[in-house]
Structure 1
Amino acid sequence: RFVAKGNQGVQHKNCGGMLVGGKYLLTAHHCADGSYIPDLVIYQGIDRNNPDERYVREADIVHSRTHEAGLEWNTYRSKIFNDEIWPRYESSFEGDKSDGQSAAYWLDIFEREPVYLESRPDDQKNNPAHNAHNNSDFAMLVLNEPIPHHGGAILSPLVDLDTGERFFNPGEPFTFYGWGSTGYGGASDPIATALMQAEFELYREYPLTQARDGNYGGLRGPLCSAESDGCRFRASARVDFIGIDTGLGVPGVGPGDSGSPIIAGDYYYGSLFGADNDPTGDAWIAAFSSIGWMMPSIARAIDGVIYPSDMGISLERG
């Protein structure tokens, strides 16, 4: 758990995150938004009022609104469309490029987008306001000094778009840990005094969520099927998940859970963005920002082999 101070020097955001290599804190961008260098107080332990450790750090923000990430997002959604969506619903994407939903239209976009991005002046390439693509809410905070920690997780996409292999599927439960409100669906209930946990699973298969029935424009509208009159391709890095009824009521997430990691098994797939304030059916749907398309950006920012800092091992080049 960490508290980020804003440019006025007062508490700005209270969020969760995951430490990588002691130096990199993966979280939601809205937990440390702004162009300033945030001051952080980072807490470790499961008792909010009596944490095991407390660290004060400064951090630089590495987020997705960069020129390089824009190029990578275009490559990523091109793979989603060409390898996952178009082959399944070929008849839905017939037409020439003047048709805003045809395969020809999207192929033209994927070809022209890199040319446009590279043609921009440097002040636009280096300005986050000109690189606000796909509503991604992921950020990496690079700490000025490492923090010791015990455990670790392997950073992973949800799917390998080169092979089609799924690493995480609906119906596979995972435990979510967070410090948020004890109410569900964004209710303003008391904050948790101890680290909370609940069981969740993916709401629907990703990346097939990027193809939705033509009669619906919303992100959570019905997905395409063989009977769909027309598909709409809407690429997004946001992935929905839903609570599993444990007999104690359907679990949900609340304020304060933002930025907490989605970890299943030994793998980290992204960080919590937010949740609906009203249930869908019998459960609240939450969303996290998948890191799949940002793997190259993350690798550039880290540029090294990273592991928990007190495992008692050392690595050398070669």
Structure 2
Amino acid sequence: MRQLGLLLATVMCSTASYAVVNGSPVTQSEYQDYVVSFSNAHTANCSGTLLGGEYLLTARHCIMPISGANSGVIPSYSLSIKQGVTKSTALSYERTFTMASSFSSVNASADKDALAADIYNDVVANYPLNGGANLITWPYVSDLVILKLNSPIPHTTGGILAPIYNPTTDATLLPKNTDFVFRGWGYVDEAESQLADTMQKTTARLFVDYKDGVNSVDLFDVRYGFYKTACTDAVAAGCQWYQKDYTEFYSTSTGRPTVGDSGSPVIHNNRIFGVLSKGNIIYVRQHEMADLTLLMDAFVPYFNKVLYPYSPGKHIKSGDTTTYSIAVPVQNMTPNAILFTPVLNDSTGLFTADMTDCDRLVESKDGCVINVTFNAANQAITTEKSASIYLASGLSIPLTVDFKSITSSVVDSGNTGKCWFRRRQFKRHSLIYIGSIVHLAFTNEKTERY
């Protein structure tokens, strides 16, 4: 069955990187500075997600080949990182990275199999009259990596790592037919001739829930191609559930991701559900994210700490009178529950905080958000301000409102290496799956991973 899955998976193309064609520009106020773009010796343009300033979550194929003779070989441990909505004026960082040996367990099939088994039990419970949906095992793509940077990169915003479906709470955190905004810096035209300087955005959604059993015969739509639909009959005749480490999503507006920005996070409600991996050559509104659902348990020993933005707050101009809202996501990535008893420490009188969501026992892998308001009275701010939030013994989060520039022509250098990239032509095995019939067509196509 895994061999069949491997054949079917080839309908999704491998490409260099992914972004938004016919999208709309992201404004400075919409941009979140924990999402960055980068280049290295393997790719000219990918995106990543900063976690606690020290880590970068991205697509594994942005760092190394994941197939072929050089699969798994990292050509360079140097990254050129851009932080800002517009790349030509963005803050620039040169960093090296390591991948801790413990991270290898994140891609281990045994870890994923164990968590998938828990989820499948929940799937079976939805179809009680026929023993549940049939389990179809699928090849693990493992197109996800977390890099430990040699020097932190400050970021004021952040997100919470999350599964699409949480078997512990039986909660679907990214439900089907829920619109989310995808953002990227890749090509902006159908001819793939112009990379975006300013980040672009478009709208996307899932068509089935993560734990839905799906019908064995896909539906077809001229816009989306072949797509799966949920079984609605409790008898579950012909119903299937796919055990895999990626999830399909679909562009629903005029814009769509395409070559230019793999590794961009899929975000909804302050949660990071995965990174953009690849897309369909034929049906260009069909995409895949390498999702985090089967990885959450393995992340805990890798991080083993509480994660939050490296420098939560705002960068403003002197004299600013604006009232600002600052969301501070906090996530317990230790193996044990932690009792958070948040207290705001503020000598300026300019910060207030709604800490209700975090005022509780926070289980391992769980997260919460503290919502801070700064300058509710609209004073003119002429000096930099700071405060802090006490969470638990030995754990306090700094808050800073400063006058630092969000653009720069100066590079913050670490250990650096030259950046270059190659574009390749591959012979591609395109495949269409209709019901139980597999049609293979061998074509010679450009197939750059997103």
TM over 0.5: yes
Aligned length: 267
* Aligned residues: CA RMSD: 3.0
In the other structure, the counterpart of 2:215 is 213
**Equivalent residues of 1:202, 1:240 under 8 A apart:** yes
In the other structure, the counterpart of 1:88 is 126
Q: Which has the higher strand share?
A: 2
Which of 222, 229, 232 is matched with 2:240 structurally?
A: 232
In the other structure, the counterpart of 1:59 is 97
> Aligned runs of 1:1-318 on 2, under 5 Å?
1-6=37-42, 12-33=43-64, 34-36=72-74, 38-51=77-90, 53-61=91-99, 66=105, 69-84=108-123, 86-90=124-128, 134-183=140-189, 188-208=192-212, 211-214=213-216, 220-226=227-233, 229-245=237-253, 250-279=254-283, 284-311=285-312, 313=388, 317=394
Distance 1:71 1:278 in 2: 33
Distance 1:180 1:64 in 2: 28
- Cα pair distance change 1:183/1:228, threshold 3 Å: farther
- Structure exhibiting the larger radius of gyration computed from Cα positions: 2
In the other structure, the counterpart of 1:121 is none
Q: Show structure 2 runs of 5+ residues with no match.
A: 1-36, 65-71, 219-224, 313-385, 396-450
How far did residue 82 of structure 1 move?
A: 1.1
Distance 1:24 1:172 in 2: 29
Distance 2:175 2:229 in 1: 18
1:272-307 CA-to-partner distances (Å, cap 9, x unmatched) read 11222233xxx7011111112111222222111222
Distance 2:242 2:281 in 1: 23
**Equivalent residues of 1:19, 1:25 under 8 A apart:** yes
- Cα pair distance change 1:317/1:191, threshold 3 Å: same
1:18-73 CA-to-partner distances (Å, cap 9, x unmatched) read 1010011011111112343521011111112221x111111123697537843321
**Equivalent residues of 2:208, 2:229 under 8 A apart:** no
**Equivalent residues of 1:149, 1:310 under 8 A apart:** yes
SS at match of 1:81: helix
How far did residue 183 of structure 1 move?
A: 3.4
Q: Which has the higher helix share?
A: 1
**Equivalent residues of 2:46, 2:261 under 8 A apart:** yes
**Percentage of pairs with the same residue:** 25
| TM-score computed with the length of structure 1 as normaliser | 0.74
SS at match of 1:305: strand
